[in-house]
């Protein structure tokens, strides 16, 4: 079922804090909101301003000149086309959220897309948001120490392709990437989608902070959306290639794989690439 014509509705309308928090900040996120027309990277901005921006700060950009992806890759998007946002969380150095942030944000992104369209996105470990077997978004969680009392600044960045047309995806992205405009039939409203994303992130952050049973719930919801479980995966780790069947994720978000040459192995996102 595909609509006969494109119906982009908010192309290039710069967003405001009220778009991101229509009812005002209700949870941990949003007491400080930084809207940038152009910036190098919203993740970098919050990492660099962690000491002053404050816990729960949100950075949004219409355009990034040095958008960061996982494993040092770039994240590119035409001006005004996407959700490019990051949130800052001040955590203790032993906080479990440091290793679970990617899972939380990828799940929140799927849930947000689902509230705004008929699509049911999936997750490809560790950080891809997938629609129709193509990448529609990604999560990059980064942390660094801040001077105060051994705490860490955790920055979770989310990029979601919203208004791109097929011609915007060049090279290998032409067959691997998609946008909500391409893959769904509902008009894409970046502001409403971003608000839903922040609301779902707030929901899971609050649940995990206040109730020990929330993490298993989150993990189950994540596994329910993970496109890899039960399927063959091909990974590169420590200069070696591995193939096997994805079984599960660990507490820390590692992918647990039954290797085809025998044995089970945990793969950490930080030093594993997917080769297919
Ligand atoms: C990936 O799939 O490799 C992760 C992409 C994450 C991109 C987002 S866009 C907003 C935030 N700022 C960045 O520089 N990166 C993240």
Q: Measure 66 CA to ligand 1 centroid, in angstroms.
A: 10
Q: Measure 22 CA to ligand 1 centroid, in angstroms.
A: 24
pLDDT digits (tens, 9 = 90+) for 204-241: 999 998 887 899 999 999 999 999 999 999 999 999 99
Indicate the pLDDT class of residue 136, thresholds 50, 70 and 90: very high
pLDDT at position 276 is 72
Q: Measure 159 CA to ligand 1 centroid, in angstroms.
A: 5
Mean pLDDT computed over 245-274: 94
Protein residues with CB under 6 Å of any ligand 1 atom: 41-43, 64, 67-70, 73, 75, 84-86, 127, 138-140, 157-159
Give percent of the chain with pLDDT exceeding 90.
86
Mean pLDDT computed over 141-158: 91
Nearest CA to ligand 1 atom 15: 68
Q: Quick check: 2 pLDDT over 50?
A: no
Indicate the pLDDT class of residue 251, thresholds 50, 70 and 90: confident
Indicate the pLDDT class of residue 80, thresholds 50, 70 and 90: very high
Q: Quick check: 7 pLDDT over 70?
A: no
The secondary structure of the chain as a DSSP string is ---SS----STT----HHHH-TT---SSS-SSEEEEEEES-HHHHHHHTHHHH-TT-EEEEEEESS-B-GGG-B----TTSEEEEEEEEEEETT-THHHHHHHHHHHHHHHHHHHHSS---EEETTTEEEETTEEEEEEEEEEEE-SGGGEEEEEEEEEEE-S--GGG--TTHHHHB--HHHH-SSPP-HHHHHHHHHHHHHHHHHHHHH-TTHHHHHHHHHHHHBS-TTSEEEEEETTEEEEEEEEEE-TT-PEEEEETTS-EEEE-GGGEEE--
Q: Quick check: 1 pLDDT over 60?
A: no
Q: Measure 221 CA to ligand 1 centroid, in angstroms.
A: 22
pLDDT at position 10 is 56
pLDDT digits (tens, 9 = 90+) for 16-47: 999 999 999 989 999 999 999 999 999 999 99
pLDDT at position 4 is 39
pLDDT digits (tens, 9 = 90+) for 40-58: 999 999 999 999 999 999 9
pLDDT at position 212 is 79
Average pLDDT, the chain: 92
Nearest CA to ligand 1 atom 11: 157
Q: Quick check: 123 pLDDT over 90?
A: yes
What are φ and ψ of residue 215, in 5° steps?
A: -60, -50
pLDDT digits (tens, 9 = 90+) for 154-200: 999 999 999 999 999 999 999 999 999 999 998 899 999 999 999 99
pLDDT at position 32 is 96
């Amino acid at each position: 079922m595909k609509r006969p014509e494109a119906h982009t509705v908010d192309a290039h309308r710069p967003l405001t804090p009220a778009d991101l928090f229509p009812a005002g900040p209700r949870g941990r996120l949003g007491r400080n909101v930084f809207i940038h027309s152009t910036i190098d990277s919203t993740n970098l901005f919050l990492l660099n301003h962690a000491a002053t921006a404050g816990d729960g700060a949100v950075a949004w950009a219409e355009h990034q000149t040095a958008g960061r992806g996982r494993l040092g890759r770039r994240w590119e998007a035409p001006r005004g086309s996407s959700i490019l946002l990051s949130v800052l969380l001040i955590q203790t150095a032993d906080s479990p959220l440091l290793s679970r942030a990617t899972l939380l944000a990828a799940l929140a992104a799927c849930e947000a897309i689902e509230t705004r369209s008929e699509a049911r996105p999936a997750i490809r470990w560790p950080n891809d948001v997938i629609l129709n077997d193509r990448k529609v978004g990604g999560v990059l969680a980064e942390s660094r120490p801040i001077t105060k009392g051994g705490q860490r600044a955790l920055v979770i960045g989310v990029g979601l392709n919203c208004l791109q047309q097929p011609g915007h995806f060049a090279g290998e992205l032409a067959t691997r990437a998609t946008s909500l405009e391409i893959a769904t039939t509902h008009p894409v409203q970046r502001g409403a989608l971003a608000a839903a994303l922040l609301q779902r992130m707030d929901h899971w952050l609050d649940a995990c902070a206040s109730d020990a049973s929330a993490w298993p719930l989150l993990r189950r919801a994540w596994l329910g959306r993970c496109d890899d479980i039960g399927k063959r995966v091909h990974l590169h780790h420590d200069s070696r290639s591995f193939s096997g069947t994805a079984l599960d994720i660990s507490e820390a978000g590692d992918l647990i794989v039954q290797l085809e040459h025998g044995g089970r192995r945990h793969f950490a996102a930080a030093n594993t690439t997917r080769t297919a």
